Amino acid sequence: MNNLILASASPRRKELLELAGFDFEIITADVDEVLDASLTPSQLVMSLAFQKASAVAAEHKQSTVIGADTVVVLDGKVLGKPHGNTEAKAMLTELSGRTHEVYTGVCLIKGDKMHQFFECTKVSFYPLESELIDSYVASGECNDKAGAYGIQGKGCVLVKGIEGDYFNVVGFPVARFCREIKAFA
């Protein structure tokens, strides 16, 4: 395989790719994310993954570029990253005691070749007391996370169970990726 580029600044995606034994570099581009409200969640994450990957691929035509994007969806409504503690509390209150979906889209681009896929994982939260929400938000972990929680951090205590790939919830479906890139390369 030629050199591999991860077009994402997420430390969690970097860690998962390293764990799976990939050798890669990280190059990101500023993307004005275009959100088309008519897209389904799976189309949305693949579209955002494509936007991130293609911006980098345009400058690195010999490399295989990986883009990825993750969103949280409750009752068909997309929850992005919260803007401040008030919105974080509101999101966690909405998620409390319920099951939501986490979608991650992945896009691979090399020159003229392109491949996209997505994974969806269901996540069920315990009913959350307001003191738990307050202390979790105060920890500062919510800020850069879709849906205002990180399952791999202190957010582990919020989650009753999941159905699907855990690492997809963390932000990158690494096991599926290993198989998809083998078919792509």
- Cα dihedral sign for 179, 166, 122, 14? negative
The least distance separating a second copy from the CB of residue 27, rounded to whole angstroms, comes to 24
**Beta carbon nearer to a second copy, 74 or 120:** 120
SS3 at position 35: coil
Residues that bind a second copy (CB under 8 A): 16, 19-21, 121, 126, 151, 153-154, 156-167, 174-176, 178-179
CB 52 within 8 A of CB 104: no
The least distance separating a second copy from the CB of residue 174, rounded to whole angstroms, comes to 6
Paired tokens of 71: 């969103």
**Beta carbon nearer to a second copy, 33 or 129:** 129
**Beta carbon nearer to a second copy, 21 or 76:** 21
**Beta carbon nearer to a second copy, 86 or 130:** 130
DSSP state for residue 38 in the 8-state scheme: T
The least distance separating a second copy from the CB of residue 29, rounded to whole angstroms, comes to 28
DSSP 41-69: HHHHHHHHHHHHHHHHHTT-TTSEEEEEE
The least distance separating a second copy from the CB of residue 168, rounded to whole angstroms, comes to 9
Does the active-site annotation cover 30? Answer: no
Catalytic entry in 69, 75, 134, 165: 69
- Cα dihedral sign for 125, 97, 120, 45? negative
* Active site residue ranges: 69
